[in-house]
Structure 1
Amino acid sequence: MSNEREKVRMQHRGRGPMGRGMQPGEKPKDLKSSLGKLLSYIGNFKAAIIVVMIFAAASTVFNVIGPKTLGKATTALSEGLMAKIQGTGSIDFTYIGQILLFVLGLYVCSAAFNFIQGWIMTGVTQKICYRMRKEISRKINRMPMKYFESRTYGEVLSRITNDVDTLGQGLNQSITTIITSVATLVGVLIMMLSISPLMTLIAIVILPISMALISFVVKKSQKYFKDQQEYLGHINGQVEEVYGGHLVIKAFNREKDTIEEFNRTNEILYQSAWKSQFLSGMMQPIMMFVGNLGYAAVALSGGLLAIRGTITIGDIQAFIQYVKNFTQPIQQIAQVINQVQSMAAASERVFEFLNEEEEDQTVEHPADVSAVTGTVDFDHVQFGYNPDQTIIKDFSAHVKPGQKIAIVGPTGAGKTTMVKLLMRFYDVNSGSIKLDGHDVRDFNRRELRDAFGMVLQDTWLFKGTIMENIRYGRLEATDEEVIAAAKAAHADHFIKTLPGGYQMELNEDASNVSQGQKQLLTIARAILADNKILILDEATSSVDTRTEVTIQKAMDNLMRGRTSFVIAHRLSTIRNADLILVMKDGDIVEQGNHEELLEKNGFYANLYNSQFEDVVA
């Protein structure tokens, strides 16, 4: 039942049943491929990473020399004690002091190199995240409308915010740790071999056991990390969706259903999160247990070799420290495996976004949009959002410059779809749409859309002042031009009654003004833009009847001399249109002016008269 309700809800919002982005049935992420793409992506920072590796190696060299050097002090101390007990000598504190100062210098140098490589790596990580966010920002402006209409806002935002943040944290912590750990392993191995190959062999025996355990745990936990990252995106989408529609949810008493839906998604996230964290958390105690076994074996063998006089007491002390340092990087690698997996999962989601299909932004020899007069021809247009579902079957119409064209019809007839095709949010499947004799596909998309002004039923205002929101139509407009546009849209009066007037700050969803006032502001924005062709999609749907009449007069003045497309459900608002296109099931069933269509007493007449019929109980 839950899946059916989700499907209906997505279809109601104009999305297909697969509209939630990544689905649970999608193939698992490829860890190797994801890391390969990430390494290729950070290739521009190769020099900086090489410097990090050199500094990490230098830090490791100073760090691994310390125990063996310190072992000399232990040997000198033990030999001095023995000599003092036998009465043949004393402890050379000066020599021991020199060794301790030298060791202190080694560790200071190691810490300095480690600090520098950490500082460089942090800078590289932030630059990579900055570059990635910049590319995502540019990518958004080149992506087709169908991508955003098939996914929730939260799903897209999760890739831009959560996934990039996860990627940045993983790069900053895991890469530095891995480089340092590998360098430490190599350095410690060399030092251990220089002390005793036999003891080194005993210590190395633990490696295959460690690697087998790590491989087993990684294999088990990878799918849970994938689910964790995926359902984090779903959770973000639900929270964003519920927050935006909380008034509707309360009005229909759907709080319980909403919470239940959230809990189901949250339960999946919880299960995948605790399993992934539990499995990755098991690696450290397992590695510590295996490491302690090796530690005990080394201590026993070292004692036997010291009794035989093969190695000194200081060498045993140094070797025991090296064994600890030998297992520690393995434990560190085990700890960051979960970060690497999360980083790989996040990077794949980001790269999926960056590799999405883009719109053709430019053409080789674009038509000149500056000379457009407003002639529009729809020539046997055929279109469907899905190849097997045709919405516009055969749409043909000729629009002369300066005409006011009304497109009417029942819900789902394809009225708004025609506008989307006209502005090339989508391309037609067959046929063509021509602007002044040029196919709209012959124009650069940005230049083509500069020719259109649009006012939609769904208003969009951003966080900022009212002045800034109106000026969005033409950024170089002066304050006087903005105010003149507001007066033409009959918005000036209510703006002056608001606290702060034109400088009043709208909040993020502009809920501190009414829906009708928001509509007036978007109309003022379109008036200010002063485009050659106007598109009004239910532009007066959210204002009262009295204001609608006033706005209609302003619109008539605005549309004079411009080609205008008006989509309307209230047919009384388009009686003065030069041409009315009546759509039904994706086709034009009637066309003509208001009087001509009423005389035909056909589909339009039925639509028009039905709005004035009295409902008889």
Structure 2
Amino acid sequence: MQAVGKLSKYIKPYILFAIIAPIMMIVEVSMDLLQPTILQHIIDDGIAENDTVFILRSFGLMIITSLIGLIGGIGCSIYASRTAVNFSTDLRHDLYETITYFSNSSKDKFTLGKLVTNLTSDIEMLQRALTMLLKIFVRGPMMFIGAIVIVFITARELFPILMVVVPILAFCMYYFTALSGKLFHKVQLVVDVVNTKVQENLAGIRVIKAYNRKNHQIDQFTDINTQLMKRSMSADQIIGVLAPLTMFVVNMGIVAALWMGAIKVDNNTLQVGVILAFINYLMMVMQGLMSSSMVLVQLARAVPSAERIVEVLEEKIEFTNPSVPESHKIQGSVSFENVSFSYLKGTESVLKNISFHVNAGETVGILGMTGSGKSTLVKMIPRLFDVDSGVIKIDGIPIGQYGLEHLRQSIGFAPQKATLFSKTIAENLQYGKSEATEQQILQALQASNAREFVDRLEAGTEHVLTQGATNLSGGQRQRLAMARAFIRKPNILVLDDVTSAVDSISEKAIQQAIDEQFAGATKFIVSSKISSVRHANQILLMDDGKIIAKGTHEQLLKTSELYNEMAKTQAEKGVTLSE
């Protein structure tokens, strides 16, 4: 319940709505509680005495109380909904914002499937619980207590029946509510697994098809889905038993009331209207308990959701607060000083004591075998990861002292995997520069050699990409990713093996555009081809997370055996190493 308390701050801006809703519900319940008493007097004082005026007056009073109750019910629904919807909207916003600041290790800790569940079903669960809390949780107890009090005052002869029925109903509610809460918590855990599996399978659908593993994945999903079905069925069946069981207890109470009432009416110690009113109040007692139990079940389901959300909100953000003012313009010199990094604490480092310096405006080529740490190294520059030891400096200042937004605004980063969004080509490029004009978009496309295929599209830059940009080829996606980095005109440009799916003619055009348009920028070019970096001011040759050689192309040909071997192998495969 501590988690629920921590989330209560999201209700405070709407506390007025949260107060009005229960007040309106009190009005509705009060009117409902008056109805059986009015009916009792109609029967005993009106019909029995043949008093038509009293009957008509009482019917008018019932209509008025019904209208007042209607207004109260509608008002409660409106204000409860406003509170709950605004609460969930603000909470979802903060949760999403928190997730966007997560490091990769935090994302791996929670898993994407679980984070999606947090943002969707967990928050929806809390929204429903809050709505029911403001509406039904006021109605249930008030109707329950009010009905008992009125029966004690007006039908004390039948009150012993309540003394038997109410404890039985209360025990049933408590037992089934507690049990269902535990079961629904288990259901939520399986929902996480289902979301993760669906997301994983849809993202890798091409691999699944290519390896003809569709049936295998379907079988795996069927197992998980069956597990979810069984747990959901167990929880729903528990709730399903509660309603008929409580109705049976109430029906037994009605039978007892009719039996006792008939005897007392025959003895002229009780009036018929009192029996009918008692039966109505007995039904209200049941409804009050039932509605209260529904809220308790919903709360029992919502508490684990609240705990999961609070866990995400309280996840420690690894990035430190900046101390460098944003007015400081980043020039672009970069230094790595004994930098080491591992993806999982306690495991072997992916980067091991990396040290090098790059002056502003220079070009650095990074070569190495697969798994040597090339991509990890350049991801450290925009702080997609933080170092385990050592320090990275930009313009002589540790990058931890820069604000993330300020740091990344000065960097154009094109990752190895070209991630594009299901928007237009223009909107994708505006991720790099939100205020980019049409002319700037076209210039960036020209620089990345992407304009040649964009111009052939019927809608041009307004062409809408599918999810994952599957309506483009790999090379086209890479060129758009480069254009997104180019459009910012950054002081530091990071290209992580972005020409792997680009033909040699296009690559040469891109290299020429980079030399012409980004002469003053510090450039980091990761590649597996020597031809892509041979003109760099400095080439870093990596192996097993270490820099084993560095220098210019000519220097490495003289001093590095591995570099010579790579050059020879690529030459044999027809890769041109010279202009």
Instruction: Return the TM-score normalized by structure 2.
Output: 0.93
CA–CA distance in structure 2, aligned partners of residues 403 and 505 of structure 1: 37
2:379 pairs with 1:379? no
Aligned residue among 504, 518, 522 for 2:477: 518
| C-alpha displacement of 1:128 | 1.0
Aligned residue among 123, 131, 134 for 2:93: 134
Q: Which residue identity does 2:336 align to in structure 1?
A: F
Q: 1:535 to 1:175 in 2, by over 3 A?
A: same
Q: Which residue identity does 1:285 align to in structure 2?
A: P
The equivalent residue for 2:104 is 145
CA–CA distance in structure 1, aligned partners of residues 261 and 6 of structure 2: 46
2:39 pairs with 1:70? yes
CA–CA distance in structure 1, aligned partners of residues 327 and 213 of structure 2: 49
Q: Which residue identity does 2:177 align to in structure 1?
A: V
The equivalent residue for 1:528 is 487
SS of match in other structure, 1:607: helix
| C-alpha displacement of 1:345 | 3.1
Structure 2: stretches of 5+ with no match in the other structure: 575-579
Contact 2:178 2:297 in 1 (8 A): no
CA–CA distance in structure 2, aligned partners of residues 548 and 260 of structure 1: 44
Q: Which 10-residue stretch deviates more, 526-535 or 140-149?
A: 140-149
The equivalent residue for 1:287 is 246
The equivalent residue for 2:460 is 501
Q: Which residue identity does 1:581 align to in structure 2?
A: L
The equivalent residue for 2:72 is 113
| C-alpha displacement of 1:411 | 2.1
Q: 1:397 to 1:512 in 2, by over 3 A?
A: same
Q: 1:547 to 1:149 in 2, by over 3 A?
A: farther
Q: List per-residue Cα deviations over 1:421-442 (Å, max 9, x = no partner).
A: 2222222122111111111111
Aligned residue among 165, 168, 178 for 2:137: 178
2:16 pairs with 1:47? yes
Q: 1:131 to 1:146 in 2, by over 3 A?
A: same
The equivalent residue for 2:577 is none
The equivalent residue for 2:304 is 345
CA–CA distance in structure 2, aligned partners of residues 233 and 59 of structure 1: 40
CA–CA distance in structure 1, aligned partners of residues 573 and 321 of structure 2: 53
CA–CA distance in structure 2, aligned partners of residues 506 and 392 of structure 1: 36
2:569 pairs with 1:600? no
The equivalent residue for 2:30 is 61
SS of match in other structure, 1:373: coil
CA–CA distance in structure 1, aligned partners of residues 233 and 133 of structure 2: 20
Contact 2:491 2:522 in 1 (8 A): yes
Q: 1:235 to 1:586 in 2, by over 3 A?
A: same
Matches within 5 A, 1:157-236: 157-173=116-132, 175-236=134-195
CA–CA distance in structure 1, aligned partners of residues 97 and 211 of structure 2: 39
SS of match in other structure, 1:253: coil
CA–CA distance in structure 1, aligned partners of residues 420 and 327 of structure 2: 28
CA RMSD for the aligned pairs? 2.2
Contact 1:380 1:432 in 2 (8 A): yes
Q: 1:169 to 1:219 in 2, by over 3 A?
A: closer
| C-alpha displacement of 1:189 | 1.7
| C-alpha displacement of 1:576 | 1.1
Contact 2:177 2:296 in 1 (8 A): yes
Q: Which residue identity does 2:523 align to in structure 1?
A: S
Q: 1:36 to 1:212 in 2, by over 3 A?
A: farther
CA–CA distance in structure 2, aligned partners of residues 427 and 603 of structure 1: 30
Matches within 5 A, 1:578-593: 578-593=537-552
| C-alpha displacement of 1:71 | 0.5
CA–CA distance in structure 1, aligned partners of residues 51 and 564 of structure 2: 114
The equivalent residue for 2:404 is 445
Instruction: Return the TM-score normalized by structure 1.
Output: 0.88
SS of match in other structure, 1:374: coil
Matches within 5 A, 1:153-552: 153-173=112-132, 175-360=134-319, 362-363=321-322, 365-367=323-325, 370-389=328-347, 390-552=349-511
Q: 1:70 to 1:601 in 2, by over 3 A?
A: closer
Q: List per-residue Cα deviations over 1:148-181 (Å, max 9, x = no partner).
A: 3455544322221222223223332454122111
| C-alpha displacement of 1:613 | 4.6
Contact 2:320 2:400 in 1 (8 A): no
The equivalent residue for 2:48 is 79
Q: Which residue identity does 2:66 align to in structure 1?
A: Y
| C-alpha displacement of 1:278 | 0.7
Q: Which residue identity does 2:545 align to in structure 1?
A: G
| C-alpha displacement of 1:72 | 0.9
SS of match in other structure, 1:468: helix
CA–CA distance in structure 2, aligned partners of residues 470 and 38 of structure 1: 37
Q: 1:277 to 1:511 in 2, by over 3 A?
A: same
Structure 1: stretches of 5+ with no match in the other structure: 1-31, 81-90
Percent of aligned pairs with the same residue?
28
Contact 2:46 2:54 in 1 (8 A): no
| C-alpha displacement of 1:256 | 1.0
Contact 1:373 1:401 in 2 (8 A): yes
Q: 1:40 to 1:298 in 2, by over 3 A?
A: farther
Contact 1:288 1:331 in 2 (8 A): no
2:528 pairs with 1:569? yes
Q: List per-residue Cα deviations over 1:237-258 (Å, max 9, x = no partner).
A: 2222222322221111010111
Contact 1:142 1:358 in 2 (8 A): yes
Contact 1:381 1:433 in 2 (8 A): yes
Q: List per-residue Cα deviations over 1:520-552 (Å, max 9, x = no partner).
A: 112122221100011110011121222222222
Aligned residues: 573
CA–CA distance in structure 1, aligned partners of residues 422 and 113 of structure 2: 19
CA–CA distance in structure 1, aligned partners of residues 330 and 356 of structure 2: 18
Q: Which residue identity does 2:55 align to in structure 1?
A: I
Q: List per-residue Cα deviations over 1:482-524 (Å, max 9, x = no partner).
A: 2122112222221111112222222222222211111111212
